[in-house]
Amino acid sequence: MTQAPSVLVDVGGTNTRVAFAKDGQVDAQSVLRFKNADYSHLYAILDTIIDQKVSGICVDIAGPVSNGTGRLTNVDWLISEDQLCERYGATKSLLINDLQAQAYGLNQLDPTAIHHIHGPVSDDLETRLVINIGTGFNASPIYKVGARYFVPENEAGHAALAPCEDVDLGFLIGKDGDGTFRSVEHCLSGDGLWQCVQHFAPTYAGPRQEIFPTFADTNDAGLRMALTAFAKVMGSVAGDLSLTHLPHGGVFFVGGVATGIAPFLNDLGFEAAFKNKGRFGAFMDGFGVYACADDLATLKGCAVALMQ
């Protein structure tokens, strides 16, 4: 008897992607994309797609999940595992954070989409660390427990940023004048990158989305100063998180900002900032660092999470 397919759903702040999977493998040809603003709820999207029996549904969302329920911040969608099962007749459902989906998908990444940045290259499946730098920031370890994987929920982007050596404190300290350091997300998210460019390269007149291509083409001195500061903060934060979680299986950057700057990191001081941990500097050489740009990573992660 042929098993019914499962449904995988990646809900971002602006768009939603839906795909089908069998035996834990994503059918890349089945991926459909929808603009959230065009629909009153996620269920309005799924109602147009699910017209057959499904074995399970896994939804990842760009927001916190608690007790099988999550609410998006950009649109007023409340999603629950119980409603997914009841509405679509699935025998099992799972609601997870989008970073958890990225982590669960690490074993199925397209090798051509992985860019090595620092440290040893290893297939070791010990603890790994996923760091997302895109519209927002978050980070989470992934632990191998027997034949299964466990990815805890995290909101690491809202931790306060520690000072970074050789980086102007005017960029690191909040603009409200109280002298406190900005959060990690405020410095390293998409808007944080733009603020970094404005601070260090005020004459840059190009669009936000062209920062990395412009730097690649021109090696503009102002952009180099801005991206050097950004890379050092990125390295320092990644180093702190690595010491916290000891990801001997590797550190994996995901997200548009991280993958955009990845080709330049070794030239911008990332490695020195990553290793700048006092007597543990040499210890940092044991962590491999990569950037991953597999567009199907979250959907692949949903498939893995649902299977186990």
First-residue to last-residue Cα distance in the chain? 21
Q: What is the pLDDT of residue 243?
A: 96
Fill in the DSSP letter of residue 272: H
From the number of C-beta atoms within 10 Å of its C-beta (0-12, 13-18, 19+), residue 217 rates as: exposed
Q: Which two tokens stand for residue 33?
A: 């994309």
pTM for the full model? 0.89
Token couple for 266:
């070794």
- Which amino acid, 225? M
Encode burial over 122-148: b for 16+ CB neighbours within 10 A, e otherwise: eeeeeebbbbbbbbbbbbbbbbeeeee
Q: Which DSSP helix (H) or strand (E) runs through 116?
A: strand 114-118
The shares of helix, strand and coil residues in the chain, as percent rounded to the nearest 5, are 40, 25, 35
Which residues make Cβ contacts (< 8 Å) with residue 66, sequence separation at least 6? none
Q: State which fold the 112-292 domain adopts.
A: Hexokinase; domain 1 (3.40.367)
Place of tokens 């979250």: 298
Q: Which fold has domain 6-105+296-307?
A: Nucleotidyltransferase; domain 5 (3.30.420)
In angstroms, rounded to a whole number, what is the distance separating the alpha carbons of residues 39 and 45?
7
Q: Which of 251, 247, 271 is nearest to 133 (CA)?
A: 251
Q: What are phi and psi of 145, to 5 degrees?
A: -120, 100
- Per-residue pLDDT, 177: 47
Place of tokens 């007597």: 279
How far, in Å, CA of 76 to CA of 146, rounded? Answer: 38
pLDDT at 178: 53
pLDDT tens, residue by residue, 16-28: 999 999 888 999 9
Does an H or E element contain 17, and which?
Answer: strand 15-22
Confidence at residue 287, expressed as pLDDT on a 0 to 100 scale: 95
| Backbone phi and psi for residue 237, each to the nearest 5 degrees, phi listed first | -65, -45
pLDDT in the model for residue 179? 57
Partners of residue 65 on adjacent β-strands: 70
Block means of pLDDT (10 residues each) for the chain, 308 residues, are 82 92 90 94 94 90 88 87 93 93 90 92 83 90 88 84 74 61 83 88 89 92 93 95 95 94 95 95 95 94 91
Q: What pLDDT, on a 0 to 100 scale, did the predictor assign at position 124?
A: 66
Ranges of each domain in the chain: 6-105+296-307, 112-292
